[in-house]
Chains A and B, each alone.
Chain A
Amino acid sequence: MITKNAETILSVQGLSASINGAQILKGLDITVKAGEIHAIMGPNGSGKSTFSKVVAGHPSYSVDEGTIDFKGKNLTDLEPDERAKLGIFLGFQYPVEVPGVTNGSFLRLAYNTVQGARGKDELDPLEFDDFIQSKLNLLGMDASFLERSLNDGFSGGEKKRNEILQMAILEPTLAILDETDSGLDIDALRVVANGVNTLHGDSDAVVLVTHYQRLLNYIEPDFIHVVDGGRVIKTGDKSLAHELESRGYEWILEENSSSVS
């Protein structure tokens, strides 16, 4: 939802970033305000997943130029855990499996760490059990999820739900969801989308990184950015998604290359 005078949550200016010497982002700009939902779309290899990792602080990527400001604070020199404590959340495209670490204990440690950083009280295991129950219900997850090893042996859909469950308990100011719709069947997609819609409010922002328009039928974006070659080449409203769905990416890429030349 676009509101006037909303606080700027994320301001990315002229961002260039590389991995192992290969430049992926080449002067990317994006501004996200409180209450808004943005979708970042683009063909494979356009740099959209890199964008989400760079904002979360993935150590393999180096920021060569430009700035990433979160609520006016420069993030570039902060470690990923410090960014998370500030309220940035990355929903992973491929959540890692960690055998032996129970989901419940992982979630509680993450919750308590972030709560601690916000000056709020930590919860003991029993209190946490009560707290998490409503979040599990929201995502149609059974409490037995908490006893299982973190993402270990989870189906694709279970992993994605588990990501949104983490978003639900950490209550981020900025949630970047990287290809959350990939590998989901239509029912799981509905549950995940419903979760995101329920969690999203006036004071936070959501950035959806996706290849397909499908997810946007369930989560309605305020802005759509098409990324190619490591830059935003077109920004529009939700109608742009439908155009992309029917016409593909080619016409924008062509339009863009002709405008550059």
Chain B
Amino acid sequence: MSAAIDNIVNQPYTAGFKTDIETDSVARGLSEDVIRTISSKKNEPDWLLDFRLKAYRHWLTMTEPKWPNVSYPKIDFQDIIYYSAPKPKATKKSMDEVDPELLETFEKLGIPMNERAALAGVAVDVVFDSVSVTTTYKEKLAEFGIIFCSFSEAVRDHPDLIKRYLGSVVPYTDNFYSALNSAVFTDGSFCFIPKGVKCPMDLSTYFRINTQDSGQFERTLIVAEEGSQVSYLEGCTAPQFDTNQLHAAVVELIALDNADIKYSTVQNWYAGDKNGVGGIFNFVTKRGLCKGVNSKISWTQVETGSAVTWKYPSCVLLGDNSVGEFYSVALTNNMQQADTGTKMFHIGKNTRSRIISKGISAGKSNNSYRGLVKVSPKADGARNYSQCDSMLIGDLCGANTFPYIEVGNKSATVEHEASTSKIGEEQLFYFLSRGIDSEEAVSMIINGFVRDVFMHLPMEFAVEATKLLGLKLEGSVG
């Protein structure tokens, strides 16, 4: 049966096809000229070009972080295509004018670009390589005063908001990849929920990397004003190439007084093949600022793809009584490596955070949880609860937990629990001896393991994520 265990994890990657579409790309490599070219292609204002150039100059002084528990060949940053966009056939006014090739691509991926066919009223912004190709339900959302558009449009139509918030949570100086992103980011999504508005539908961005050797550097910025609420979903896939592509995104969330942001991700980038050839390097900086009192930011992530993942969605709990949450399922298989977790910075009084992390390792993969809980001296009454559970499938994979706890206030309460379990012969035999076959047994055990996290996903997403886990693990026991 242990040969059976080796088997369950290897299921073909269904999103691995490439779309043949004419693209407008800049030449490989990175320089001030390339940045100027990208900026001028996007007709950007001078202040944004300045921001990019400052970030680039700062990036040149930085080195790649070496502390994650992952190893990969050195990235040649001069061998990456920093801008690649599908060539527009003509200026598009509505969905009917979107390139049929693109429509077909996203149809295949199950992403409705057509509002009539849209799934249960989710507004979608679709990003293909470097640019946003369409955003659905814009007009309907505008009736509520909600802005949901591509980042480029936001720069053009809402420059004041972008100027005020861009880089306010993740400054370009933050880390190597946020500096790189700030220099070369090409598109992404912008959401603005005005005072007192509860967003009537889930907002969603779907990212697709199509071009071989291109990087995807997008930015997402979500601002929830006083008393507003929004649930945002992010999905991603890429074709199967035998080279690695770099995905270095920056996501910034800002919640003002009493605002509530829920951010959910199902990450299904191509993970490389059995031997670790190809796949996405996913080096992403995600951070939310609970700026106002009683504000709340909740991250839920399901990480199943990428060759290497390096990602720590974090919360800065500045406002008194603000709440940060992190719910994560990270699945690694074959040669995948993940070093992921969260950071919770307690600054305001009576701030609370909750971390539930579930790591599943199969094949020869290596899965690490890395988390920081930091309570500043002024954070009276801060509370944190962390639970990190790891599950091993088979004998060749690894799981690690690196919790960092820094408490600077005596009144704080910080709890950390961790467990490691293994789907082994004894567990499977128990299910088998009740008539349940091994595939069903593994799926039941895994679904039980991730239940505490999946219950925080929006309904449709939870269904998708459950299917995805099943698919990723099919054949690893059998």
Residues of A near any B CB (own CB < 8 A): 56-60, 79-81, 83-85, 89-90, 92, 95-96, 98-102, 105-106, 109-110, 113-114, 117, 149-150, 166, 170
Contact = CB atoms under 8 A, between A and B. Distances in A.
A180 to B, nearest CB: 14
B43 interface: no
Given A59-B425, A101-B444, A101-B448, A96 B430 contact: yes
Given A110-B435, A113-B436, A117-B435, A92 B444 contact: no
B432 A79 contact: yes
B444 A56 contact: no
Interface of B: 1, 421, 425-427, 429-438, 440, 444-445, 447-452
Q: Which of A58, A98, A117 has the most CB of B within 10 A?
A: A98
Contacts of B429: 56, 58-59, 80
Nearest to A166: B434
B448 A99 contact: yes
Nearest to A169: B434
A105 B435 CA distance: 14
24 contacts: A56-B433, A57-B433, A58-B429, A79-B432, A81-B432, A81-B435, A81-B436, A81-B438, A84-B435, A89-B433, A95-B430, A96-B427, A98-B427, A99-B449, A100-B447, A101-B447, A101-B448, A102-B448, A106-B444, A109-B436, A110-B434, A110-B436, A114-B435, A166-B434
Contacts of A96: 426-427, 430
Given A98-B427, A106-B444, A170 B434 contact: yes
A214 to B, nearest CB: 25
Nearest to B428: A59
A85 B433 contact: no
A92 B432 contact: no
Nearest to A117: B435
Given A109-B444, A149-B448, A57 B435 contact: no
Q: Which of A90, A101, A102, A113 has the most CB of B within 10 A?
A: A101
Nearest to A86: B435
A56 B1 CA distance: 15
A153 to B, nearest CB: 13
B380 to A, nearest CB: 35
A90 B447 CA distance: 25
Interface SS of chain B: helix
B436 A100 contact: no
A95 B429 CA distance: 10
Contacts of B430: 92, 95-96, 98
Given A57-B432, A85-B435, 15 more contacts: A57-B433, A80-B433, A81-B431, A83-B433, A84-B432, A96-B427, A98-B427, A98-B430, A99-B421, A99-B449, A101-B444, A106-B444, A110-B435, A114-B435, A150-B448
A57 B1 CA distance: 12
A127 to B, nearest CB: 19
Contacts of A58: 429
Contacts of B425: 59-60
Contacts of A106: 434, 444
A101 B434 CA distance: 15
The 7 nearest A-B residue pairs measured at CB? A100-B448, A101-B448, A110-B434, A80-B432, A84-B435, A113-B435, A59-B1
Contacts of B448: 98-102, 149-150
Contacts of A95: 430
Q: Which of B421, B431, B437, B440 has the most CB of A within 10 A?
A: B431
B433 A100 contact: no
A80 B425 CA distance: 12
A84 B433 contact: yes
A109 B431 CA distance: 10
B417 to A, nearest CB: 12
Nearest to B427: A96
Nearest to A84: B435
A10 B149 CA distance: 70
Contacts of A114: 434-435
Nearest to A91: B433
Contacts of B432: 57, 79-81, 84
Contacts of A56: 429, 433
A91 to B, nearest CB: 10
Nearest to B430: A96
B453 to A, nearest CB: 10
A21 B421 CA distance: 27
A160 B170 CA distance: 55
Contacts of A59: 1, 425, 429
B91 to A, nearest CB: 52
Contacts of A110: 434-436
Nearest to B448: A100
A92 B434 CA distance: 11
Contacts of A85: 435
Nearest to A116: B435
A164 B438 CA distance: 23
Contacts of A149: 448
A170 B435 contact: yes
A92 B436 CA distance: 16
Q: Which of B427, B432, B445 has the most CB of A within 10 A?
A: B432
A251 B7 CA distance: 51
Nearest to B444: A101
Contact of A84 (B421, B434, B450, B451): B434
Contacts of A79: 432, 437
Contacts of A101: 444-445, 447-448
Contacts of B426: 96
Nearest to B450: A100
B1 to A, nearest CB: 4
Nearest to A58: B429
A99 B433 CA distance: 19
Contacts of A109: 436, 440, 444
Contacts of A105: 444
A92 B429 CA distance: 11
A104 B373 CA distance: 37
B418 to A, nearest CB: 13
